[in-house]
Structure 1
Amino acid sequence: MADEKEHGISTVKSIVVYPIKSCGGIYVTQAPITSTGFKWDRQWLTVNSKGRAYTQRVEPKLALVQVFLPDEAFFEDWQPSDESFLEVKAPGMDVLKVPLTKPLKTVDNVSVWEWCGSAIDEGPSAAKWFSTYLGKSSRLVRFNSDSEVRPVDPNYAHGYEVMFADGYPFLLISQGSLNALNALLQEPVPINRFRPNILVDGCFSFSEDLWTEIRINKLTFQGVKLCSRCKVPTINQETAVAGPEVGETLLKFRSDEVLRPNRKPQKGKVYFGQNMVCRDSLGLGMEKINMANSMIIKVGDPVYVLKMVSSPDDSPA
C-alpha cells in the first residue's frame, strides 16, 4: 500500500563517500550527486593480475586502508589541478599520492561482479603500493567514464548507472536500525560495518525498509531494493578481523524468511539498509549535473518520506 502524503521527518546524520571500493570511507559535510552516485564514490578499484576486483570479502586488509581527498573536492564546481591528489594510507606503509588529473593509459578486461570493461591504470607506484600491502600482484584502476557504462540492474532501476559500487548508487541506513541491532549484540558495532552512503536519524528502526520515495534538499530518491548483506558487516573495520556475532544475529531477525514470509524464500539472505537511486540524476550527463546548483545534499538536511509501503513483505529485495 502506497501513501503519497508527505510525512515523517528524519535528518541526514552523516554522509560517507568511498573513493576506493572496499577501502575506508570519507565522512563529509556535503556531497554533490552525479549520474553514478556521490561524486568520487567507488571511482577507484584494486584488481589482481587478471584484472579481477579485490574486495573485503577476500581481502579484509582493505578495511584498514584510509583514503583522503581535498575538502574542496566535494564542492560542485571544483576541478582537480596538477597539485590535487587522492592520498592513501595503511599500517606499515608510506603515504601513496595518486594524482586526480587522469592518466592516459587504459587497461582492458577489468571486472567487478558481472561487469567487464576498460579502466584507467593509475601507474606503477600505485601498483607497487597495493602489491606490497596485499602481498600479491595488484593494480589500482579508475573507472573510465569517457568510454564505459555500468548499468544498474534494470529489473529494479532502469536507466541508472554506477561506477564500481556493488549494485546501486546509494545505500541508506537509519541510526535507529543500528541501535536496534546493537541492543541485541554483546559487543555493539559502529555504522562503518555496513558502509552506508547516507545515515539518517530521527525515525523508527528499520523505517527505511518501507521507503519507496523520499526527498532530501529538493532531490527525490527512490528506494529500489532492500540491501542483502554479504560477509563484510562481520569484519571489524578497525582490525580487519571477522567475527560471527553480527551475521548470526542478523540471520535471526533480518532474514528473508522473517521479513518476507509471504514471498518465495531466498535462503541465506539477510537485509540491512535500503538501496536507492536519485531520480534527478536520471538521464543527466556529467556536464549538466555540474551546471546544476541543487544537486547536493548536506549533513543536517531534513528527510521527507513521500511514499512508502506497509511492510518489508511489499518491498523489492
Structure 2
Amino acid sequence: MAEPESAAAAVSARVKSLFIYPIKSCRGISVSEASLSSTGFRWDRQWMVISSKGRAITQRVEPMLALIQVELPTEAFCEDWEPSNNSYLVVRAPGMDVLKVPLSKPRETSDGVSLWDWSGSAFDEGDEPSKWFSSFLQKPCHLVRFNEVNETRAVDPNYAHGYKIMFSDATQFLILSQGSLDELNKLLKEPVSANRFRPNILVDGCEPFSEDLWKEININKLTFHSVLLCYRCKVPTVNQETAAVGSEPNETLRTFRSDEVLRPNKKQRGRVYFGQCLVCSDSITDVKEKIIRVGDPVYALKSVSSPSEAAA
C-alpha cells in the first residue's frame, strides 16, 4: 500500500488489533478489519442495556457485564455488508442459554432512554432479550438499539464539532499503544490486558505514550483527529475475565498518569489519563473506501510536544 502523499514522515506505528463493542460495556470483538460509519466503527456501541427507568447500565455499576460475550456474523465487518432475515447478534454468558437477537430492525421503540446528558428514543429488542438480561443481572433490564433514523447523538462540540456517535461515552474511537500498556505492566504486580481499557485501535511499534502527542494521524488514507486524552473511570479496575473489581491498574496509573503529573500547569481535575480519544474527519465525507485493517501503517501527521499541550 502506498504512503499517503501528506505523510512525509516515516511510519509512526502499525495497527496491531482492532476491537468493536456491539453492546456497550459487554465484551468486545477482535476483528482483522473494520469499516467506518458516520458514528465510528460500524456496529460499535449500537446496542445498550438499560434499566427499567431507561438509564444506561455499564460496568461502572454492573461489572457482570464483562462476562457477556457478543458475536456477529464474520461478514458483518466487511464493507457494504447488509444483514438478511437469518442474521443475528449472538449473546452468551455463564449459566445462560444462548440469546439470538435478529439484526433486522425491531418495530417497537422505547422512549426516555438516557446516557450521560443525552436522552431520546431507541429501538427496543423486545421481551426475550429483556428477560435474558434481567435474569443475568438480577434486575429489570431492556436491550435497546440506537435509533439512527430518528435520533442523533453529537460528540460534545467543545471537543469536536459536527461529529456523531451512538452509545459510546464521548467520541468515535479510542486509540492505545502496546508500548503504553507494556510500560504500565512493568509497574503492576499482576499485568493487565488491553481489554481493561476497551480501545478500538491498538497500535504497536511506537514509543510508550506516543499517542498522547498525536494531534492528527492517517491510517489507510483516513484522517483521525485527537479530541482529548482519555480520562479513566473505574472500568479498568474490573477484571474482564472474572468481573472481580480491585484497585488496580488505576492506583498505579495515578502515580504517573494523573493530571497533576502530566498537566501540572493546567486546571487540576483529579483525572488519570490512558489512551487518546479520536474522531475521523472522513466519517462525514464521501471517501470511497472507509476501512482499516490490522497491519496498516499509522502516520503521525501533526503532534504536540507534551501531554500538557494536548486537549483533555
- If the length of structure 1 is used for normalisation, what is the TM-score? 0.95
Distance 2:211 2:256 in 1: 16
Match of residue 146 from structure 2: 143
- If the length of structure 2 is used for normalisation, what is the TM-score? 0.96
Distance 1:73 1:134 in 2: 28
8 Å contact 2:177–2:211 — kept in the other structure?
yes
Structure 2 residue corresponding to 1:281, chosen from 280, 283, 291: 283
Report deviation, 1:77.
Answer: 1.2
Distance 2:21 2:50 in 1: 16
Match of residue 301 from structure 1: 296
Match of residue 3 from structure 2: none
8 Å contact 1:6–1:307 — kept in the other structure?
no
Match of residue 273 from structure 2: 271
Report deviation, 1:293.
Answer: 3.6
Report deviation, 1:312.
Answer: 0.1
Distance 1:246 1:70 in 2: 33
Distance 2:232 2:79 in 1: 32
8 Å contact 1:18–1:25 — kept in the other structure?
yes
In the alignment, does 2:151 pair up with 1:156? Answer: no
Q: Deviations over 1:213-260 (max 9, x none)?
A: 000000000011000000000110000001113111010000001000
8 Å contact 1:5–1:307 — kept in the other structure?
no
Match of residue 219 from structure 1: 222
8 Å contact 2:27–2:66 — kept in the other structure?
yes
Structure 2 residue corresponding to 1:133, chosen from 131, 136, 139: 136
Distance 1:296 1:67 in 2: 22
Distance 2:166 2:80 in 1: 20
Backbone CA RMSD of aligned residues? 1.0
2:289 alignment partner AA: S
Secondary structure, aligned partner of 1:245: coil
In the alignment, does 2:307 pair up with 1:312? Answer: yes
Structural mapping, 1:4-43, within 5 Å:
6-43=9-46
- Report how many residues are paired: 306
Distance 2:251 2:43 in 1: 33
Q: Deviations over 1:180-232 (max 9, x none)?
A: 00000000000000000000000000000000000000000001100000000
Deviates more, 1:256-265 or 1:114-123: 256-265
Match of residue 192 from structure 1: 195
Match of residue 258 from structure 2: 255
Secondary structure, aligned partner of 2:89: strand
Match of residue 86 from structure 1: 89
Distance 1:245 1:207 in 2: 23
Distance 2:68 2:27 in 1: 6
Report deviation, 1:264.
Answer: 1.5
For structure 1, the 5+ residue unaligned runs are none
1:297 alignment partner AA: I
Secondary structure, aligned partner of 1:16: strand
1:272 alignment partner AA: F
Match of residue 109 from structure 1: 112
1:119 alignment partner AA: A
In the alignment, does 2:212 pair up with 1:209? Answer: yes
Secondary structure, aligned partner of 2:292: strand
Secondary structure, aligned partner of 2:308: helix
Match of residue 4 from structure 2: none
Report deviation, 1:103.
Answer: 1.0
Secondary structure, aligned partner of 1:139: strand
Q: Deviations over 1:75-125 (max 9, x none)?
A: 111100110000000000000000001011111000011100000000000
Q: Report % sequence identity.
A: 64
